[in-house]
Amino acid sequence: MVKQLSIRSPFIPLITYLVLAVIIWLGVMAEFRLDDSFITYRYARNLASGVGLVYNAGDSVLSTTAPLYAMLLAALSLFIPDFHVLGSLIGVISIGLGAYCVAELAPRSLSPQIRYWAGLVYALSSPLWLSLGMETALWVMLVLAAVMFAARQRWGLAGLLIGLAVLTRPDALLPGGLLGLGAFVSAVNARHTITRWWRALVSFVLAAALPIALFALWAFATYGSPFPATLSAKGAQAVLGITGLGVNVDTLGGVRLILASLMNQSSLYVALSILVILGLAGSITTPIVLIAAWGVLHLLAYIILDVAPYRWYYAPLVPAVALLAAHGLGFIHQRVRIRRFRVAAYLAAILALFPLIAQASSFARISEQMRAGGPVDVMLPIVDWQVYRETGEWLHTNAAPDATVGVAEVGQLGFYARRWMTDYLGLLQPEASAMLRRGDLYSWLIRYAPDYLVFQRFRGAALVLYNYVIENDPWFRANYQPITEFDDPRYSSGPVTIFQRQLPVPALTEQPVTLDYPGMRLLGLAMDGVALTRAGGTVRVRLDWEVTGDLPRDLHIAVKGFDMAGMNPAFDGDYVTDEWVGRFSTWHGFVVPPDVPPGRYVLLVAVGPRGGPYSDQGAGWLEVTGS
């Protein structure tokens, strides 16, 4: 029994990594909350309560990239009902198990100490911990476990783990393809040496395909598609330069920002970089080649997809860094031993300490950020959880059960509000995502006209919807008034303000119309301003378009009530038409002032390049009554 529990036993490093992960969680990361993780928490809560795997009850939209993770959360919530604790615990266990897989995948030519060091580097990696609560650590661990079992020629189990990883996050398709290639090579190499040489490839493919196929069939029946809406939303955000790492940051730019941030936290990360470079020297084992190829191809895939980057997108690089660094450390140790330096082990140990000290510095900086707040940094947490929770709980207490809420961040706020949510980043409604892709920053507000709007105002700055100063918009000012505000000095973005809609939103009335403009055809319109009184009011207009030819890149659309006693209340909007194709709608809002004489007024729609000339045509009508 004593021998079985020696340092050679796999249980000792496994337990060590798990205990270390729990210590980091409880000692540093217990308060940490990542806003996006609460989107999946809300899916899980709805599933556990019988509403279904949806964000908004009644909306059959898959806007989480982690359906299996949501199902796991829903099942385990029967035992741990606090989703924040449960999601964090799953992440903590996944980091510990992932560290063990990394140690097992390190070459056997390395000493046990260096292999265990590789797992330690993985377990201490802040990119994993700064995604705590997300599915990130879980899907990466599943892929690492699949590679580990594939290296042991257990292709059926490896395939099953890859299938589960794909359902945890679709990104796992890429390492799944690499492992499938490995299974094919293994089968070809064994063709003339053993019977049933094809077993490896067939076992892997069938085991991986089974869970994916079952989910795809269910998703088609439930949502009409197995693909999450978030992919389109992240692509649309990239078109507008909206990313999780700053304005107009692409995938490679994100790598540079992350490296610069880590170096700012500790210059000793240089030692880790040197070890990774040295790790490319000499003979590298197949598992390291596969994991390194996974990291590189993952990065390349995101560059090609051109989606808005977030820091957890770079997590697959972590195991490659840990394994290559271990190989580099072994390379140095071996070269020093060859030269018969007696202090070889001590030199290697000192060099191995530098990355660990750097990682400890990162945790110290993270802890300080959570305690006191500070400037936005890509490798530090955004301390928004207190202000978002208070805002969401206020909405849950004060908003009617059937109220609609419009926000930018739908995670924590939506989780605690428990109300029907719409977001202008396009994560929840495909229509809003399509608006963003067309560069239409305004239609979301008029289209959904939520009962409540939640905006974050940067300290001392104007209230904006993207780059549009929404506080100056006449339709917004007439319809919404601020009712309460929440702030946390640690939250760098400033106070969170809740606005409530003060005016009712009448139903839209369709008006038949077919008008040709240069490069566009107006196929129809609808508006709610067909029964105004002399008191005036606000008007919403939906214009239905079809692109028929070339459009100017910078297009201007104006909508106004014409000849209202010399007044032309109007909406004027500028659009970038790079993504304008086919049929779609734009939404416009404006205000009709009081004391307009009764009568029927022409609704004028003007279209043309920014700065003119414009093509003006009467497209509908507004009715002002005398009462």
| DSSP states along 201-223 | HHHHHHHHHHHHHHHHHHHHHHH
Residue with tokens 């659309």: 557
Task: Say how far apart CA 20 and CA 119 lie, in whole Å.
Answer: 11
Average pLDDT over residues 221-235: 80
Instruction: Tell me which of 422 and 408 has the higher pLDDT.
Output: 422
- For 1-39, how does the pLDDT look when each residue is reduced to its tens digit (9 = 90+)? 334 444 456 688 999 999 999 999 999 999 999 999 999
Handedness of CA 135, 136, 141, 146 (dihedral sign): positive
* The one-letter amino acid at 543: L
Query: Is it the case that residue 339 has pLDDT exceeding 80?
Result: no
* 170 contacts 228 by C-beta, under 8 angstroms: yes
For the ranges 215-219, 356-360, 527-531, the lowest mean pLDDT is seen at: 527-531
Instruction: Tell me which of 9 and 606 has the higher pLDDT.
Output: 606
Where do the structural domains in the chain lie, given as residue ranges? Answer: 11-372, 385-501, 509-624
Task: Say how far apart CA 432 and CA 334 lie, in whole Å.
Answer: 58
- Structure letter (DSSP) for residue 453: E
- For 142-185, how does the pLDDT look when each residue is reduced to its tens digit (9 = 90+)? 999 999 999 999 999 999 999 999 999 999 999 999 999 988 88
Task: Say how far apart CA 380 and CA 401 lie, in whole Å.
Answer: 36
**What are the angstrom distances between the C-alpha of 22 and each of 88, 92, 237, 302, 315?**
10, 6, 36, 32, 20
Q: At what angle do helices 83-105 and 11-24 cross, to 10 degrees?
A: 140
Instruction: Tell me which of 341 and 255 has the higher pLDDT.
Output: 255
pLDDT of residue 239: 66
Number of residues assigned to the chain: 627
Cβ neighbors of 325 (< 8 A, separation 6 or more) are: 118, 121, 272, 275, 276, 279, 355
* The one-letter amino acid at 241: G
Paired tokens of 278: 């040295």
Task: Say how far apart CA 320 and CA 97 lie, in whole Å.
Answer: 16
Query: Is it the case that residue 327 has pLDDT exceeding 60?
Result: yes
* 395 contacts 419 by C-beta, under 8 angstroms: yes
pTM of the model: 0.92
Q: For residue 619, which phi and psi values (nearest 5 degrees)?
A: -115, -15
**Peptide bond just before 430 cis, omega within 30 deg:** no
Give the Cβ contact number of residue 509 at 10 Å: 14
Task: Say how far apart CA 110 and CA 337 lie, in whole Å.
Answer: 13
CATH code of domain 509-624: 2.60.40.10
